[in-house]
């Protein structure tokens, strides 16, 4: 049995990330409103003439506003424009702050030391800038004494009052009574 080497050629099409702008020869409009590289309005010219002006300056002709009549084109260095745009997006993404919701669960029969531990944890979350959802779970006969859970949540909010505001008052939903705390500015 003979084995023949099989040659496989993979053609990979590389797509370069491109914004929704038409460039240079892609602009097929008869006339365009032209803006120079310095931002000065150069008037309405034919697209061939605008392309020639951009090539003369060693820059690109970019269609900025395709829906205008006539479409608005600008002479600019497109690669520098894309680089600056990506840089601005990266900077904006870096400055974003995602606020998380941390949850603290208790039962209505919680002891005072355990409650103090939960309060310290909540205060730590609040000083970090996160919202806190405090919930009390009722089991079996505890459902008959939901007022104890509400009192517990009110006490919890009072102990966290120096770092937090109560966003939502205690509310019973099924077997859980929940309350939201937000950090003070």
Q: What pLDDT, in 10s, does the model give residues 44-81?
A: 888 888 888 888 888 888 888 888 888 888 898 888 88
Same domain, 110 and 162: yes
Same domain, 108 and 178: yes
For residue 15, what pLDDT band results from cuts at 50, 70 and 90? Answer: very low
10 or 139: which leads in pLDDT: 139
Q: What is the pTM assigned to this prediction?
A: 0.50
| Euclidean distance between CA atoms 28 and 47, whole angstroms | 7
Which residues neighbour 42 within 8 Å (Cβ) at sequence distance 6 or greater? 34, 35, 36, 53
Q: How many domains does the chain have?
A: 2
Q: Is the pLDDT of residue 132 over 70?
A: yes
* The pairing of beta strand 41-46 with beta strand 101-106: unpaired
Give the per-residue pLDDT at 14: 41
- For residue 91, tell me if it sits in a domain: no
**Residue 136 in contact with residue 177, Cβ under 8 Å?**
yes
Domain containing residue 64: CATH number: 3.10.20.80
Least Cα distance to 122 among 76, 72, 165, 73 occurs for 165
Sign of CA pseudo-dihedral 118, 124, 126, 130:
negative
Q: Is the pLDDT of residue 16 over 50?
A: no
| Domain housing 55 | 24-80
């Amino acid at each position: 049995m003979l084995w023949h080497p099989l040659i496989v050629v993979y053609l990979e099409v590389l797509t370069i990330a491109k914004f929704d702008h038409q460039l240079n020869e892609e602009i097929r409009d008869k006339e365009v409103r032209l803006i120079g590289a310095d931002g000065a309005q150069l008037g309405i010219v034919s697209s061939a003439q605008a392309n020639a002006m951009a090539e003369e300056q060693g820059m690109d002709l970019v269609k900025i506003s395709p829906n205008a009549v006539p479409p608005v084109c600008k002479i600019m260095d497109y690669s520098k424009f894309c680089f600056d745009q990506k840089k601005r997006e990266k900077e904006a993404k870096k400055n974003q702050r995602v606020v998380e919701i941390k949850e603290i669960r208790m039962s209505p029969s919680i002891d005072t030391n355990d409650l103090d531990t939960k309060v310290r944890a909540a205060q730590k979350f609040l000083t970090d800038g996160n919202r806190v959802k405090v919930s009390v779970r009722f089991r079996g006969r505890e459902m008959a004494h939901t007022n104890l859970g509400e009192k517990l949540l009110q006490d919890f909010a009072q102990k966290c009052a120096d770092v937090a505001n109560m966003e939502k008052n205690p509310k019973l939903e099924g077997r859980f009574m929940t309350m939201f705390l937000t950090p003070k500015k």
